[in-house]
Amino acid sequence: MQIHTPDGEGMHRIVIVGGGAGGLELATLLGDSLGKQRRAHITLIDKNRTHIWKPMLHEIASGSMDYTLHEIDYLAQAHWHHFRYRIGAMSKVDRTQRLVFIDSHTDEDGDTVTPDRAIPYDTLVVAIGSRTHDFNIPGVAEHAIQMDTAEQAERFHRKLVNAFIRANAQPQDLQAGQLQVAIIGAGATGVELAAELHKSVRALVTYGLERIDADRDVTLNLIEAAPRILPALPERIAGEAMRILNKLQVNVRTNARVSGVQADGVQLASGEFISAELVVWAAGIRSFVCLQNMDNLEINGINQLLVKPTLQTTLDENIFAFGDCAAAPWLGKDAGTLVPPRAQAAHQQAMHLTQQLHHRLDGKPLKDFQYQDFGSLISLGENWAAGGLMGNLAQGTLFVEGYIARFMYNMLYKKHQFGLHGFWKVALDTVSGFIRRKTTPRIKLH
């Protein structure tokens, strides 16, 4: 086992595992301060080479966005912002020796790129996010596409385009289930994907697929086990989203528990079978199994690390965790209430930890993390969104919808970009993106 010794001998070693929205933002902010000042050596570990903002996955899956234009290269970001990036997946932690163990990384040809190794730390921050939870339902792994990564979203999009080209080229009529889509889970991802697909499949058929009538031949099924869609959000937001989905002719099924997924559709516990050529699994979350190998740190039933209000793990003050992989108490709420797994929470925690790790190096006491709920916005197509803002105010939530809500939704991504790149790069990228939209197809066609 190779032990990697970072540059900057004598400096405090901060290792961040996970380059999602929160982890990459934390590495960038710490690199621009502690790293640039050579007060600490910052290392970011991720098994991927590039970063994509996870709330955009439904746009990648529908073809509304070419994700290659929005990827952030970890090596380049590290070079520009005074931290180091190392590729690999965390396998376990030795808390006594303060070592993070990283599995070897192989390429698509099976060749080893980096060996198994261990990276020493003084402060470890775990921000590996979450994945969808299949609840051990038969057939999900084999026949459904989960929506956790850009590669999975891109795979669904390729299958979607191929299905339409196949249907347009075949001599016989459409078969049962052909061009039918089943989305399991009506949380934010499922609802947004259903609305986005309504637009994209209609755009797709305009590019020479004249035998297909999207209104007649395509059915979008949204399946939810709970009594209503968006069960984690206020009823008014869910009601507005439901109104839009009905207008888009999405077939919404609530109180519908899935008992199995097959190659040709979805089996419900009620005995009903929904035929579908394409199945997406977007129900539930859990963190990664590797968190069970954190040298006996406390975890809950979905593999989240238990953390104190300071975001330090309950049994080790040198290890912090935040984002979807952490069960963080929501101060000011009822006992047992956790900070919700949202992008805004990860952003706030990254900002908080940036300041607190400065305090840690200065020997100052750490402050508790106070989550501020600024509400939720749901994208319902290119020009429409709905949501509630300022949910933390005593007088209640301000409900917004339509073009204004969609503008606010788009600004959430811009805010994430500002944190990583600064104003001028984001402004130039926005202008170039507007020009590209005038010279490229309305959706990705491959």
Q: What confidence tens digit (pLDDT) does each residue in 47-72 have? A: 999 988 888 888 899 988 777 777 89
Question: Cα separation of 104 and 112, whole Å?
Answer: 7
Burial of 215 (0-12, 13-18, 19+ CB in 10 A): exposed
- Rounded to whole angstroms, the Cα distance separating 421 from 319 reads 27
User: Rounded CA gap, 38 and 156, in Å?
Assistant: 44
pLDDT recorded at residue 110? 87
Q: Are 155 and 40 a contacting pair, CB within 8 Å?
A: no
- CA nearest to 252, candidates 224, 231, 214: 224
Q: What is the CA 168 to chain-centroid distance, rounded?
A: 33
Report the pLDDT value the prediction gives residue 356, as an integer from 0 to 100: 97
Q: How far apart are CA 253 and CA 302, in angstroms?
A: 26
90-94 and 99-102: which strand pairing? Answer: antiparallel
- pLDDT attached to residue 392: 44
- Count of helix runs (H) and strand runs (E) in the chain: 11, 29
Strand partners, 388: 376, 399
- HSE of 79, CA atoms in CB hemisphere, 13 A: 5
Domains in the chain: ranges and CATH: 2-130+287-362 (3.50.50.60), 140-285 (3.50.50.100), 375-439 (no CATH)
User: How is residue 48 written in tokens?
Assistant: 């991927």
Cα angle: 173, vertex 175, 179; to 5 degrees? 100
Q: Which residues of the chain have pLDDT under 70?
A: 1-9, 382-399, 401-403, 405-406, 409-410, 413-414, 418, 426, 430, 432-446
Q: What share of the chain is helix, strand, coil (3-state, %, to 5)?
A: 35, 25, 40
Residue-level pLDDT at 393: 41
To which residue do tokens 């005995």 refer? 271
The helix (H) or strand (E) run that includes residue 277 is none
Whole-number Cα distances in Å, 354 to 92, 124, 183, 268: 25, 13, 38, 46
- Which residues does 435 contact at the CB level (< 8 Å), separation at least 6? none
pLDDT in tens, 231-290: 988 888 889 899 999 999 999 999 999 999 999 999 999 999 999 999 999 998 888 888
What's the confidence (pLDDT) of residue 237?
Answer: 86
DSSP state letter for 289: G
Are the CB atoms for 194 and 378 separated by under 8 Å?
Answer: no
**Tokens representing residue 377 in the block:** 């916005």
| Whole-number Å distance between alpha carbons of 262 and 139 | 6
CB atoms near residue 402 (< 10 Å)? 13
